[in-house]
Structure 1
């Protein structure tokens, strides 16, 4: 028994010796990226037809849990704690989600700061449309409508159907789509949608061309399409006010192995590409959606009077103050100094009394100096940074500003010297007049 116990101890020691370093390198507690991802599909065949995309997530360290969307045991949380950090919904046909999942549960999931990737197609159910609508995106409701483009359709081995288009109208943002840029057209077959014009949070990432419209293939056009032209979005993203991110695509095939590997040529163009831009587009956009890029954090927020180091309990009018903070950006592996010239500080009470653009040292430290205005009350040091593709920074720190005390005023103000002179000259003149009046006739 003693030898058996000793062998088990040695086995455990060997396991921890080799496994612990691997666990430490694979999990970064400071990482803002999602790690536990639930993938819901309406057909398990998607695991093989979209394996390249799913494998790209696994290769980057994500833990995928692929389940049928109708699984009766589905749940996102228990006792107020969520089991997953992100949800990928590749189940356009599902009429009713399993377990305790519904549109309201998924909205709560996003409202709690988690991320969502949703893909649709021409068979999209009302449930999926409702989820997209809750996120500020409205799919075309015309039955069996798809995006059709008779000008920029795709010429591929998959066929020359004009509902298979070669889209290249991409957003100009290296934060969202990566610094390498996507040069190949993107194969797209599916629904068009409109980003709610009243929403300030929705962004069209891939738009249709001016010649595209939404309708049935082969059907005669008798009325104006519901959505058409460059105003029609193909793939959109939403960044909520709590910095949760949502990606919505009207095409599930966009993520498929077949579209990833297919050659593509846009109608009317002589350029033929051996491989479409789908894989690069899907991977880069997913990196942004899951916070591998464009995620900012602040540190070392500090303010003090110039010449001092400690934060005061309050400022006095006309004091000279210094404000500083650190801003870092997550690059997918670690935090790097963020560099920008458009970060601003407001010294705020009902409205900004001071608005200063922060300088930076190139190492992530932002700072500025200013004189406290000649107004007393309760102010705020406020930084509101909202830049396309980046998480929003909202910092506010309250500080009172007092007037001079009675013993802090200058005894003789240079600007008042004429009044001092007038007072003393009046007294001297009265003294001289009294002498003359009393002692001279």
Structure 2
């Protein structure tokens, strides 16, 4: 009976090795930073069809989506110490408890390991979803009472015009962050449709940014009840969509509207209140004369596509190449030369990163030298400078942070010591008077000796 078990053990071992290798292939790679395997957690699998346009844009860019219910008992983010997914999409706002081995700590560990997260909430957001957003520096507006639903964002000036007046909870916002790195080079012309709950940013967290903001006239309240006290969240303090880039360069997107990802919002026309052009109907009549206007879509698809490129590192991802520090002598001074290569991920390959604001510090306890690096337009940054007359162990430090880009933190240690006796120049111009005095003294002593010995 031992032989069949021995024969079975070998295939099982090979299978486990293959499984482990397959897990490693899906992990984050510095040479290819784009996330490819995404886990999508939903409350109802019907979201797979109602939000299919957004999911299809991800799949068209090469992402592999794995849809699962948020309470699936087999749910797991890692196996054998390796993460199964590169990114996580939480489209399950009402989930009270995740299934399987997944919990709040597991999601935070997932982000701490350098993976990316998209979280979409709505008026049914559970305490679990709120806790995740709070840990990321975002605070959703709390429910008004246990009986009433959560407060929605209401705006009586920047709402989307529709056939029915409505309660002005369908927001048409065009207040975007000014960053081509985050939102792409092409300007988003149409407003973004938003219906959901607003949130505020934790003032103590400098890593979270507003990407889409509410207008100064917006406020957060329950549209079904009459206000008895001033809203706690008003005006430009309301963020509709926010992003976080952690110190380990993991990226997080948080929004209070799951509907903004839906097919209905992506395909819908939009006219912002007060706009002079109506884009919902291709044909309008004015005083008996036909006016033909082109029908436009909302800006949701362009906005969500561009922001997802940033979240999943298709844009704004930097890496350092070869770093070199050289020491040489020049005119009796010790000179340091420093160079580093910086590249940017274009979505498919690495290309040189060309800017003029990269600086290096020559550092020991505090910066002694701060120099801006010059570039050759091919990704190489370099500079040279005279070392200060202070002996010790110094560091070349590059701390580069720019809006929308991953941060770079480079350091290289260099010892600074006195010159050896054979490192000085043999004849120094400024010492010629001393050389002359020495040789004249020797000549005078020689003449004195001759005169003293041979003079009678």
The TM-score bracket by the shorter chain reads 0.7 to 0.9
The answer on whether the counterparts of 2:332 and 2:425 sit within 8 Å (CA) in structure 1 is no
Paired with 1:90 and 1:297, the residues of 2 have a C-alpha distance of 31
How far did residue 156 of structure 1 move? 3.5
Of residues 324-333 and 415-424 in structure 1, the stretch that sits farther from structure 2 once superposed is 415-424
Equivalent residue number for residue 230 of structure 1: 236
TM-score by length of 1: 0.84
| CA pair 94-157 structure 1, distance change in 2 beyond 3 A | farther
| CA pair 271-350 structure 1, distance change in 2 beyond 3 A | farther
CA deviation vs aligned residue, 1:111-140 (integer Å, no higher than 9, x gap):
011000000001100000001111111100
Paired with 1:115 and 1:175, the residues of 2 have a C-alpha distance of 17
Pick from 280, 299, 302: which aligns with 1:280? 302
- 3-state SS of paired residue (2:39): strand
Paired with 1:253 and 1:147, the residues of 2 have a C-alpha distance of 13
CA deviation vs aligned residue, 1:355-382 (integer Å, no higher than 9, x gap):
1111111111111111111111000011
The answer on whether the counterparts of 2:394 and 2:414 sit within 8 Å (CA) in structure 1 is yes
Q: 1:59-98 alignment to 2 at 5 Å?
A: 59-98=60-99
| CA pair 248-182 structure 1, distance change in 2 beyond 3 A | same
- 3-state SS of paired residue (1:319): strand
Pick from 404, 413, 419: which aligns with 1:389? 404
The answer on whether the counterparts of 1:163 and 1:189 sit within 8 Å (CA) in structure 2 is yes
Pick from 340, 348, 365: which aligns with 2:355? 340
Equivalent residue number for residue 434 of structure 1: none
Equivalent residue number for residue 154 of structure 1: 160
| CA pair 217-376 structure 1, distance change in 2 beyond 3 A | same
- 3-state SS of paired residue (1:265): coil
How far did residue 158 of structure 1 move? 8.1
The answer on whether the counterparts of 1:293 and 1:331 sit within 8 Å (CA) in structure 2 is yes
Paired with 1:198 and 1:423, the residues of 2 have a C-alpha distance of 69
Equivalent residue number for residue 32 of structure 1: 33
TM-score by length of 2: 0.81
Equivalent residue number for residue 101 of structure 1: 102
Q: Tell me how many residue pairs correspond in the alignment.
A: 395
Equivalent residue number for residue 428 of structure 1: none
How far did residue 306 of structure 1 move? 5.1
How far did residue 404 of structure 1 move? 2.2
The answer to whether structure 1 residue 270 and structure 2 residue 292 are counterparts is: no
Which runs of no fewer than 5 residues in structure 1 stay unpaired? 1-26, 308-314, 426-441
Paired with 2:115 and 2:180, the residues of 1 have a C-alpha distance of 23
Q: 1:21-60 alignment to 2 at 5 Å?
A: 30-60=31-61
The answer on whether the counterparts of 1:213 and 1:229 sit within 8 Å (CA) in structure 2 is yes
Of residues 176-185 and 212-221 in structure 1, the stretch that sits farther from structure 2 once superposed is 212-221
CA RMSD across the alignment: 2.7
Pick from 396, 405, 419: which aligns with 1:404? 419
The answer on whether the counterparts of 1:165 and 1:188 sit within 8 Å (CA) in structure 2 is yes
How far did residue 87 of structure 1 move? 0.3
The answer to whether structure 1 residue 202 and structure 2 residue 202 are counterparts is: no
Equivalent residue number for residue 310 of structure 1: none
Equivalent residue number for residue 433 of structure 1: none
Equivalent residue number for residue 293 of structure 1: 315
Paired with 1:108 and 1:37, the residues of 2 have a C-alpha distance of 16
Which runs of no fewer than 5 residues in structure 2 stay unpaired? 1-27, 145-149, 280-295, 441-456
